[in-house]
Structures are given as C-alpha cells and as structure tokens.
Structure 1
C-alpha cells in the first residue's frame, strides 16, 4: 500500500476519531452531525498504527441511497410523507473498526433429567348425595429427577465492535459481514483517495477478547440448555484466542424530517439497515382508538338488547 497523507478529526460530541485523505475538509462529524470537531496532527498512512484488513463496499452511493428510501417507506407506523419529504443527502462511506476473535471452546455442563412415574395416593372427597367425607385412591403422576452431566465443543469467529460512535446494538443489527478470504477487499489508500473514511478503533485486542468471552459464554449456556431438561451449571474452557483487526464497510446516513435529524446505518456489503424512523402519531392513535370504539359499540348494543 502506497504511503499517503491523511488527516484525522475527533468529535467531542460522540467521541469518534475519523481518518480521511489530507484534502478532506469536514465541517461536521459523519456520525452525529456535530460541528464540535477537532483536527489532530497531520500524519501519513505509514505513520499511524498497523493497518487492518479492509473489507470492501459492494454497494455504491446510489445503490445505498435507493435502499434507504425503500426502507423509509417500509414501516407501516412511519408518517406517509416520510420517504418523499425527508432530506436524505447526508451520507458517508465509513470503514468501521472491529476485531475478529476466533477460538475453540469446550463447555462442561451439569443438570438433571426427569422421568414421569405414577404412584397410588389416598385422597378424600365429599359425597354429594350423603354429604359425608369419604376416602378413595387414585394414580398420581410425578416427576423423578436424576443428575446428568456432559461436555460439548464449539468453534466461534466473533466480530466485536470497536467503534466509539456506533453502539453494539447497531453493529449487531448489521451483521454479518463476509470477512473471509474470498471477501471483496480494497486497498485502503485507494479507498481513502476515493472519498471513503475510516474510524480509528476505540477498543483494543484485550477488551475485544473480554467481550467475545462474554458473548460466547452466553451462547454456550444457551446451547447446553437444549441438551438437558434442567441446566444447573455450565463452565466454558477457552482455547487460545486468535484476534485480527478488520474494518467493515458501513454507510452512515443522517436525514432530516421536519426539523429533526435521524440516523440510519447500512451494511455496505449486504444492504442490511438499522436506524431511527419517526412514528406517525395519527396512525398510533387510530390503532388504539378503532379497537376501543368497536368494543364500546359492542357493549352499547348488548346493553340495548337486554
């Protein structure tokens, strides 16, 4: 990769540090639209940290914009004029930082399984004819529990969000990205020269591994729960984590609807979208009011018929 001059700005509002070509002249933060941005000392691509693997965009600006407009139309609860009147011209192609964390695990679980058995029990009841209490016997089902244990193996390749501006929920909603060897990758210097930007990571490898462990432990426990009727404990042993920095393609949109700025993000490979959409107060009121009106009408009719 050729050495190029770059500049990095830091947003005081959302905390993102975004790198672009040195001729880039930002006036607001690509993520939040804040004007409170600070330009950091100039650098070259070779002077900053080791560059991560760059997974390329498959959707260009026009394709991304079309998908956004279709998405704005797709929600029943959104205002009817949302797609037509929203200003959707603020969009940026950003490589969002992440960590790939690969690991093999083994989980030992303990729990219990049950078997249904029957026993003869004595009960009492009142005879409706005589009013006397009498005893009788009947078969009663009950569960008998037995201890059980076992192990399971798993293999994981987690993509851990390292963005300081996007939440884990936003990144998770856009997954997955194809980060394999056959994924279309770009030369980062060339991509920056063509107007792409790159966010600097806010999470290091150690923290990424910690987050990956939490995610995997939860998934392993869920898997173990499918193996046994009652799970009492699950202990996961981890192999050695293999971590690699990767930057994944995201289209970031800021659109204005009736004076309020909303944000939406899109997976630059698949077009998967996640974001904020305004809700129509009229539609919500009708959804609540119509059923209530129908119920009220039924009650009134039933009272009149008595």
Structure 2
C-alpha cells in the first residue's frame, strides 16, 4: 500500500465535528454505522428493526399491548424521574401518538402509525414530547425523524422494570370522570368501543403476557413468549409429541404468529368457560414448557415430526 493511499483511507475515518467516528455505530441506536445512517448526506437512512423492544423486561407485554389487547393502560417507569408521570395506552382518541389531558394526565399511544423503521425510537420521541407538552395538547403522529433526537425506548425507560397493564372494558378512561365526550372525540370513542372484543390478562405464576380473548364462537389464548423462537419451538415440539401442548379439555393448539421478533403461540378455547377457569391449565402448561426448555438433548423422530407441524402453522405479522 502506498503512503498516499494509507493517508486517504485514514482521512475517511476521521471523526466528525461532533466527535463521532463515521465507522462506529450510530448513536441513534439503529444498529448501522454512523456514516450509513445519521452521518450520511440527506439525513438518516431508515432501518427496519425486527425486535424493537429487545432488552426491556416489559418486551412481551409491550408486544401484546401493541398487537392485540384492545383497551389497556400501564404506568411507565422513566429512567430519569420527572415531575410528570406518563401512562402507556393501547389506543388514544383519534389514534394520537400522545396527549396531555386538561387535568395534566399524560398518555403515550402504542397502537399508532409508525414514522420510522424502529417503533422503539418513535415511542421514545413521543415520551419526550409528552414530558414538555402543555395540558390540552395532543400529538397526532410522531414527526419524521431528522436525527435531532437520538435514543430509543431502552434509553428513556428503566429496562429491568416490568409492565403491569390494567385492562378496561371500554375507552371511558380517555376522559376525566364526569366528562361527556363531544365532536370528533365522541365519534372516535363510539367507534373504538364498538370494536372491542372482551379480553383479560391471565393471572398466575409464570403467566406474563398471556391474554384470553372472546371472539364470539370461540375464545383464544395468545401468549407472547420471551424465548428465542427455535428454542421455544423445540420445547413445544417435545410437548406436542406427548400430546401435552394444551391447557386441558376444551383447548387446542391453533398455531403461532411472529410479532416484533418474538413468537406468540395461540390456543383455541371453549368459550363457555370463564377466563379464570383456564388459569390452572395455563399454569400447568407453563410448567411443562419450562421443563421442556431445560432439556438440551436431540429431538426424537416423533418430536421432529411435531416440530415440522408447528412450523407449518406459523405466520408473521411484522
């Protein structure tokens, strides 16, 4: 290599005016090099983040609230304490990204239109907005990311704090007590209430992010699991080969879907039974899964056939 070539290559890796090496990871958290993201001409390059909530203890609950829980709220624990508390919500009036009610209560919406390939980054920006917004302000959508607000949800929340959602029968919590909705809010409230399917979060040991939903002719259990997909599928295959992948009589494994990097197994349930009647069976299934996850031996022929069957009943949401 000539001395001139070496000098040119060294020049290309010189730190920017902000002190960032172009070849280092971009501080926005996208996972790309700075020169291919916020350091490129014209602004940041959008990157699809397949697992936006990775690293958060609340990851399974966040996926459930984002994808299929109709009406729920949960207080957020911020990494840096603030005078204003923030509540995460599944859906807000007019599908807003965030709002501060006239009484000062602050909400951030989870089921919203995304403006980048990283839902975690969009939510972090909505939280920062709501911390300084005035009572009565609303953020319809998170604006296009121009790189001025680096950071993700993992930076603004305490990563080891679980999320404890409260499910609601309707969206009356949108408004302060004794307040009557009017105009667009009233219409939005009416439409949102009409779309709700009765849902409940299962209670019991090890039943995090396990949700029952009444779809009319049958009920379902949707359980967001935190394990890597292949590890979970093998454990489920071990149970399926022994006909133990169920919650008891009246239940049947239906399939699974992928959402935001995690697998969500689904069971069909007898809708005549109350949600609380399924909790013992779900706890027993969870214990069997934990035991199967701890096994590291090779799958048997029957288990491999079961694994092929499980893979054939998978879909990907995003």
TM-score bracket for the superposition, by shorter chain length: under 0.3
User: Larger C-alpha radius of gyration, 1 or 2?
Assistant: 1
TM-score by length of 2: 0.20
TM-score by length of 1: 0.21
Higher strand share goes to which structure? Answer: 1
Report 1 or 2 for greater relative contact order, CA contacts < 8 Å, sequence distance ≥ 6.
1
